[in-house]
């Protein structure tokens, strides 16, 4: 998963980042609400892990701001505030789960895995996935549409697969690059645009079949069901 870690304590941030990276997650760290909010103008994430006591804004206010824009991305609080009132306030504001510091590695990773399953982001182990008129076959890197088999390269299929699994979500180019090509791939955002164009053409995505791939200027793409 692509995870945003909002934590101003460098020791705590380093610890959490090491756990998450070792578990094969891509972690982007922000030490203030402002730096994270700026990032949201250009980036999307599969999960947000945040502290309550940030230097410029409370975690409660930040999660409310996130929820005003994105109701799908899971939010996990990891904070030293341990009263029942605080937990209730965080969940009421839009958080999905709550851990009290100091976090334990096994429990933290298990909670994150549970949020991943519930949000249905990331990889799905099933070989055949049905999305309306489209059937995605991950074993053969093909899509079946109206009894026609459409062949894809490995990267094209992985791109399409990720879009369908995150349908109706706005995904940044950076998010797509990390998921399809890997964190350190030597490719540019232009590569994303070229593959998006190929997928749109090969799948015939249009209002006529109830699907469309929308490009958001200077941000990324959203696969929409109509």
- Residue labelled with tokens 């995904």: 171
- pLDDT (0 to 100) of residue 151: 87
- pLDDT (0 to 100) of residue 56: 95
Alpha carbon distance 41, 219 (integer Å):
8
Structural domain boundaries of the chain? Answer: 2-119, 128-225
Structural element, H or E, at residue 158 = helix 154-165
* CATH class of the domain at 128-225: mainly alpha
Domains 2-119 and 128-225 share a fold: no
Query: Tokens for 170?
Result: 């706005």
Q: What does pLDDT average to over the chain? A: 90
141-178 pLDDT, tens digit each: 889 988 789 989 999 999 999 999 999 999 999 999 99
What is the total residue count of the chain? 226
CATH of 2-119, one of 3.10.20.90, 3.40.50.2300, 3.30.70.20, 3.30.70.240: 3.40.50.2300
- pLDDT (0 to 100) of residue 221: 95
- Closest among 30, 12, 3, 36 to 105, alpha carbons compared: 12
pLDDT value at 123 more than 50: no
User: pLDDT category, 29, cuts 50, 70, 90?
Assistant: very high
Alpha carbon distance 128, 134 (integer Å):
10
pTM over 0.75: yes
């Amino acid at each position: 998963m692509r995870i945003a870690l909002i934590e101003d304590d460098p020791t705590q941030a380093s610890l959490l980042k090491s756990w998450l990276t070792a578990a094969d997650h891509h972690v982007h760290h922000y030490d203030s609400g402002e730096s994270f909010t700026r990032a949201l103008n250009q980036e999307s994430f599969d999960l947000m892990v945040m502290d309550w006591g940030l230097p410029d804004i409370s975690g409660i206010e930040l999660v409310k701001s996130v929820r005003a824009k994105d109701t799908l991305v899971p939010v996990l609080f990891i904070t030293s505030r341990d009263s029942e009132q605080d937990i209730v306030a965080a969940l009421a504001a839009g958080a999905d789960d709550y851990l009290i510091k100091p976090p334990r590695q096994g429990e933290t990773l298990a909670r994150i895995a549970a949020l991943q399953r519930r949000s249905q982001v990331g990889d799905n182990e099933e070989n055949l996935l049905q999305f309306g008129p489209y059937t995605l076959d991950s074993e053969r890197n093909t899509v079946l549409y109206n009894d026609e088999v459409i062949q894809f390269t490995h990267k094209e299929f992985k791109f399409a697969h990720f879009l369908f699994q995150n349908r109706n979500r706005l995904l940044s180019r950076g998010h797509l690059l990390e998921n399809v090509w890997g964190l350190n791939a030597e490719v540019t955002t232009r590569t994303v645009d070229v593959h998006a164009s190929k997928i749109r053409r090969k799948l015939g995505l249009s209002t006529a079949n109830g699907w469309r791939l929308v490009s958001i200027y200077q941000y990324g793409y959203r696969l929409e069901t109509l």
